[in-house]
Structure 1
Amino acid sequence: MLKKLALAGLVALTAFVATVAPAAARTLDDVISSGVIRVGVNPTLPPLGKFDEKNQIVGFDVDFATEIAKMLGVKLEVVQVGSPDRIPFVASGKIDVVMGAMTRNPERAKVIDFTVPAHTEVLGILTTEDKSFKDWKEMNSPDVTFVQVRGSTPVKFIEDNLPNAKVTLLDNYPDAVRALAQGRGTAMIDVMDFMQEHMDRHKSTKWKIVETPVDIYYCSLGVAKNSTGLKDWLNVAIFEMHRRGKTDELWKKWFGMDMIAPVKVTPYF
């Protein structure tokens, strides 16, 4: 069933992109001429993105995008996106670039293009202390229900690697972690670095992170398929930010630690 739903969603999204994206997405020259670059940021992924006390979106993604805008010589416009709509937004031209833990993978690359990696994600399993799991491979059982965010990379991972487990899909991370805290699921697969702030909202819950990590993914900036010039420029800008140590500086500012699996600087894209 999950495979059928994923395939249907991809077909629908591909059809949608084919009808609107080529005419709507802006080129590099368009962005420079307008004086503004529109970047999608997900505010439910702290510390990549979150709302501050003034209800403004802040976080690593915003600071990273600010540096990109400075290098391009334009102003930054932050546009709020969620996991389900971030790809349609960039594919249709509502935004020029999308961030928000955009893990690059072959299915998404059929619909949008990806830059070189901006950062990594080290996936792990969040559960509670009353669960005895020590390895994700132990969770391929109909007795296990994963609570996951619709449109996020771990959904496909579970479908491919833990097909016997059940999956409950919700629209955002606060709801997913809340459901887990309320006992409406067994576990959640995601980037543990991003989960701490959500976990802290449920202090009475005895959280547990399974010892064995799941995988390392590479997160890039997403752009529309006909934005080749913009993508090429972003690749150079991202390389410069890694080379100058700016990415590491921003990561440490927001996460309070070094990136667990740093993106290695290489002159070859």
Structure 2
Amino acid sequence: MRLVKAFLVVAAVALCCASSAFAESTYDKVMKAKVLRAGIMTNSIPGAFYNEKKEWVGFDVDIAEEVAKRLGVKLERVQVSDMTRISFVQQGRIDMSVANMTHKRERDKSIDFSITYFFDGQKLLVKKDSGIKDWKDIVAQNKKIASTKGTTSEVNARNKLKQLGDKNADQNVISFPDYAAAFQALKNGRVAGFTTDSTILLGYAAQASGQFELVGDFISDEPYGIGLPENDSKWRDAINFALQDMWADGTYKKIYDKWYGPDTPYYFPLTAKIEMWP
């Protein structure tokens, strides 16, 4: 009996090893299906959103389309949110998440990331003539600010207020399910400020030109990475190579200027360079 059990254990281990050895990488699956499933936001202006014509457009949309083009496959867009973008990668529902996601060590425990493909930082959006010119004014006036659930911005905001001496920081940062809801809270006066990555704030401010302004210093660096399945180096390399090639031949700059250039409502100067490998 013991011999049989031992044999079964060895057989199980061998089968497991064999399955791992022959497991397809995400790259192989994508190339076989000729379809790349990308998780993309729908309310992150101008990263990814629906325009007046109900077209799904934006910087992240164009980046995802260009990556698929370079791999020679069709892009399938899958709607994700701040709350679902990581779990969708983990569950295999998408092959990559191009969703203005800051690459954090904590998140790296759950999924892998590409090289940084976008560089941003967190700021504060307020109504013009509100009397608020800095984060310190929020604390001095005991005001509330809006952020979004499940984001680094939410954590950063609370930490910033605590650093400035706000004993009610946890209550004074109100978390909303998405950017649109947070911006609406600012518009209707429920909060005095809305904080997240500055380019997202610029996108929403552009909807009501001249009524809102960014104030205060950046309180964080927000390096965006494309979220990828864990421990899948072949796929990660393919995405990284595509991004680097886009930078090298000027395609990245064209996409960037289309959405963040000086002739757009979302002007945000490019201040850093994508990591390039020889």
The TM tier, using the shorter chain, reads 0.7 to 0.9
Tell me the residue number matched to 2:272. Answer: 263
Aligned with 2:196: secondary structure? Answer: strand
Per the alignment, in what secondary structure is the counterpart of residue 118 of structure 1?
A: strand
Residue segments in structure 2 that go unaligned for 5+ positions in a row: 1-19
Give ranges in structure 1 of 5+ residues lacking alignment.
1-21
Residue aligning to 1:13: none
The one-letter amino acid of 1:189's match is T
Task: Indicate the residue corresponding to 1:232 in structure 2.
Answer: 237
Q: Among 195, 200, 210, which residue is 1:189 paired with?
A: 195
The structure with the largest alpha-carbon Rg is 2
| SS at 2:44 equivalent | coil
Q: Does 1:218 align with 2:198?
A: no
Q: What do residues 230-255 of structure 1 show as CA deviations (whole Å, max 9, x unaligned)?
A: 11211111111122221121011122
Query: Paired residue for 1:32?
Result: 31
The question of whether the paired residues in 1 share the 8 Å contact of 2:147 and 2:153 is answered with yes
Change (3 A) 1:180 1:25: farther
CA contact (8 A) 2:138 2:144 kept: no
Equivalent position of 1:77 in the other structure: 76
Asked whether the 8 Å contact 2:49–2:58 carries over to 1, the reply is yes
Counterparts of 2:155 and 2:173, CA distance in 1: 11
CA deviations on 1:201-242 (whole Å, 9 max, x unpaired) are 446x83232143333321010012133221121111111112
Distance of 1:232 and 1:137 partners within structure 2? 44
Residue 259 and residue 201 in structure 1: after superposition, are their counterparts in 2 closer, same or farther (change >3 A)?
closer
Q: Is the 8 A contact 1:141 1:162 kept in 2?
A: no
RMSD across aligned positions (CA) = 2.6
Aligned to 1:208: 213
Asked if structure 1 preserves the Cα contact closer than 8 Å seen for 2:144 and 2:191, the reply is yes
Moved more, 186-195 or 244-253: 186-195
Match of 2:63 in 1: 64
CA contact (8 A) 1:26 1:93 kept: no
CA shift for structure 1 position 192: 2.8
- Contact kept? 1:120, 1:259, Cα under 8 Å: no
- When normalised by structure 1's length, the TM-score is 0.82
Taking the aligned partners of 1:142 and 1:211, their CA distance within structure 2 comes to 15
1:200: how far off?
4.1
Measure the CA separation in 2 of the matches of 1:25 and 1:139: 52
Asked whether the 8 Å contact 2:261–2:269 carries over to 1, the reply is no
Relative distance call for 1:266 and 1:255 in structure 2 (3 A) is closer
1:247 aligns with 2:256: no
**Identity, % of aligned positions:** 30
Match of 2:102, SS? coil
- Whether the aligned pair in 1 keeps the contact of 2:117 and 2:274 (CA below 8 Å) is no
Q: Which amino acid aligns with 2:80?
A: V
| Residue aligned with 2:66, SS | helix
Aligned partners of 1:265 and 1:199: how far apart in 2?
27
SS at match of 2:54: coil
**What is the one-letter code of the residue matched to 1:267?**
M
Q: Which residue of 1 aligns with 2:89?
A: 90
8 Å CA contact 1:248–1:259 kept in 2: the answer is no
Which shows bigger deviation, 153-162 or 109-118?
153-162
Identify the match of residue 180 of structure 1 among 177, 181, 186: 186
With the length of structure 2 as denominator, give the TM-score of the two structures: 0.79
Question: Larger deviation: 101-110 or 50-59?
Answer: 50-59
